[in-house]
Amino acid sequence: MVEFARTRVRGFQVESRGRHPMQSRRSRRAFGLLILLIAALIPLSVPPASAEVVCCGSNEFELYLIGDPNGDGDDKPTMTPFENELVGINEKGVSQSVQGTEEIASWSIDWKQSATIPESTWRFNIAYEVENAAGVYANATVKVMIGGELFTAESGTPGPFMTGDDLVGIDIEIPQIALNLNDEIKVTFEIRSILFTQPGDESAIRFKWGEDTDSALRATLPLVTIEMPNALVVGDEVFLPVILRSGFGERMWSSLEEFEFKVGGVVITDVRSPSIVTDGVEVPFVWNPGSNPTDGNYQVNLSIWLNAGDIPLTTGRSHAITFEEGGGTESYHFGEPARALGSHLDVDIDVKYDGSYVTRTVELEIEGSMASWLRWGMDNIGNGSLPGDHLFRQNFGSTVASDLRENGKVDEVEREALLNHIDSSTSNLKIFLGNAGLALNPDGLFEADLFDLNPEVSIDLMGVSGIDDAPMRIRIDVVLDLTGEERILLISDFIRPQLGNGIWTMNGDPALNLHVRLTTGGFSGLYSVIKEDLPDDVEVDHYRFGVTEVVTLHAVGLSDDDKFEVEYAVAGSALFSPFVTLLGTILILVSGIVIGLRLTQYRSRWIVGISSIAFSGMMTYVYALSALPPTFVMGIAAACAVLMIPLAVISPRHEADWTLSEDSLSDDYEKALAREIPTVDCPACDTSNPVETTKRPVRIPCGGCGRNLRIEG
């Protein structure tokens, strides 16, 4: 209606030119009435405020010091208000040999919200330990940089840091100052004028920060602004969005210790995929009011716990909700899903080695907020409104028609656009796998640089094209052409460190599972498997199954703290392949058993029989389950064959026809002389040969001419 009125105004002005003065006055009156009408209509065209700011002002809280003093990237020194992000202890020592000023570390954060810092006193605390000295005197300086403003405080006249463990505390006066989006808050701690009392060898003062150290900057900052937009009745459900804006961005939700959301005193546990908004995150709580709900005002309350044991931050508002017969017709628009709000990743790797090539298939099955984010990203591929460094704001989106973009589902052309982008360039694939995308390290997933492996990629939405947490699968196939390598990477830690709970977590617990299987051909074996720094929850098995060698690795609940590496050394020759090793082992072992049987032709064979069974069982274990190197396997088989000779020699003779009795030795001797031993004459030389066994038929050598005589009965 407003646009129609504007058209008439412009038309009227054109037609009024050159008319009668009376007509001009009438026109002016009509114009004035039309302006009043438009002014009355304008308020109707402006939607009422849909979000209510319910919390909060500036708060005093601890910014804990974390990070490696020599680190960079995700491991650089920074600060966090979340105790669950404190992992491990970092430290830096200063010895008595240091002259001048020594910088211990600088911790910084990029503030993600425009705000005003009130005038306040901040306090810097850092833990220390004096080593090999009764005490130490030193002057400490703390510098706080907020945007472009620098504030400095000192400990004053060199004061004592007593021996043992304690905290250094320094107050910094901060005036009221404006803090802009992406401004850096940086804290630097320095020490100088060091003097040890009663120093010993290697005296030093060591500063520590991180887990259980209480090293922190106590600051007064606007921790979080909470907005509660109006409730939306969508079908049989009521969406109750909550927007958390903070200088810590989406971590204000993902790293919270705990939260509780109530509608009229009833706890709501249905939380849909949160989405990224300016300076923070939007979390949609969903309430199912049941059948025949009544219209009215409903009170909602939100409580959040920054850390365990804290007093909760509680806020709320009242919603006027009107239900419609047959369900509400409103809709909730999901923005960019936040990545670090609960995702599960199954990594399944299948490796095949045939002597000349190593083929590897890596399947990544993704479920949770990362699956929503990837589907949303494909639906927004090439969206120019995204930040310039956003993964999905790339030129590859130019092939997607504008009417398909942001339609709430992944169209085939959008899936193909992402696939072509990451499949056509190894650098694009590395970016996609890295921190901008899946937060993985390709160097730990593959045997070599992706540039040398010619990767092929496929994306399977697994039947779900909407913006959903449902599982999806990404498959990467590579081939490594061996050129004399003897030691090849099977797998190593491949999760990039993430500040906060990390991307691959569910309810704060690691949610990444790894399954690796390596198989070889019959004529291409492994010499050994090398394992370094394996965590307790990572299991590696190496065995031979027939003429195939197999290595398996299983791990459940991996995190970026797990550091490990598994490599395998390939056999340099087909002589050490599973087939040749198995054949050689069998031949050597059978030869030993045959020798043992031949040597016990006239002796008892129970020792040789038991030894043959024992050696066969042992060699089955050595070959199949212990997966010792091929040379060791055949060496053990040869030792078993050689050992069979003395076992055969010590075996007792067959069936003696007489035994010592209880009579005297002279009586036994007379009986032995009287014992008749059957003989047989050789038909060739007439030599009489004794037959000391009752076994029939039997062959005995002739004592005269050496011919074999066969005795039947």
Residues 490 and 593 in one domain: no
Tokens coding 325? 């017969």
Report the distance separating Cα 411 and Cα 378, nearest Å: 8
Question: pLDDT tens-digit profile of 314-347?
Answer: 999 999 999 988 888 888 887 888 887 788 999 9
Domain boundary among 614, 649, 684: 649
Report the distance separating Cα 422 and Cα 431, nearest Å: 9
Residues 521 and 635 in one domain: no
Q: Which residue has the tokens 């017709």?
A: 329
Across 303-312, 600-609, 619-628, 671-680, least confident range = 671-680
Domain boundary among 544, 572, 600: 572
Whether the pLDDT of residue 176 is over 70: the answer is yes
Residues 678 and 700 in one domain: yes
- Rounded mean pLDDT, 493-504: 76
DSSP annotation of 274 = -
Residues 416 and 470 in one domain: yes
Whether the pLDDT of residue 670 is over 50: the answer is yes
Q: Residues with Cβ < 8 Å from 659, sequence gap 6 or more?
A: none
Residues 193 and 235 in one domain: no
Do the Cβ atoms of 399 and 414 come closer than 8 Å? no
- Closest C-alpha among 403, 402, 399, 405 to residue 379: 405
Q: What percent of the chain has pLDDT over 90?
A: 31
Higher pLDDT, 141 or 193: 141
Whether the pLDDT of residue 42 is over 80: the answer is no
Q: Is residue 51 part of a domain?
A: no
Output the domain CATH number for residue 510: 2.60.40
Residues 582 and 566 in one domain: no
Do the Cβ atoms of 482 and 453 come closer than 8 Å? no
Report the distance separating Cα 527 and Cα 627, nearest Å: 9
**pLDDT score at 16:** 31
Q: Is residue 641 part of a domain?
A: yes
Question: pLDDT tens-digit profile of 454-490?
Answer: 899 999 999 988 888 889 999 999 999 887 667 899 9
Q: Is residue 52 part of a domain?
A: no
**pLDDT score at 228:** 94
Q: Is residue 658 part of a domain?
A: no
CA distances from 383 to 372, 378, 396, 404, 425 (A): 17, 10, 10, 11, 21
**pLDDT score at 673:** 61
Higher pLDDT, 515 or 40: 515
Sign of CA pseudo-dihedral 248, 253, 254, 255:
positive
Whether the pLDDT of residue 27 is over 60: the answer is no
Tokens coding 370? 């990362």
The gap between the terminal CA atoms of the chain, to the nearest Å, is 127
- Closest C-alpha among 551, 547, 612, 550 to residue 581: 547
Residue 91's pLDDT band, with cuts at 50, 70 and 90, is very high
**pLDDT score at 478:** 94
Report the distance separating Cα 582 and Cα 161, nearest Å: 69
Domain boundary among 572, 595, 621: 572
Output the domain CATH number for residue 302: 2.60.40.10
Q: Is residue 407 part of a domain?
A: yes
Higher pLDDT, 94 or 302: 302
- Domain count for the chain: 6
The parent domain of residue 696 ranges over 665-711
Residues 700 and 605 in one domain: no
**pLDDT score at 566:** 92
Residue 33's pLDDT band, with cuts at 50, 70 and 90, is very low
Residues 127 and 185 in one domain: yes
Question: pLDDT tens-digit profile of 609-635?
Answer: 888 888 888 888 887 777 777 888 888
Residues 425 and 512 in one domain: yes
Residue 126's pLDDT band, with cuts at 50, 70 and 90, is very high
pTM: 0.65
Q: Is residue 268 part of a domain?
A: yes
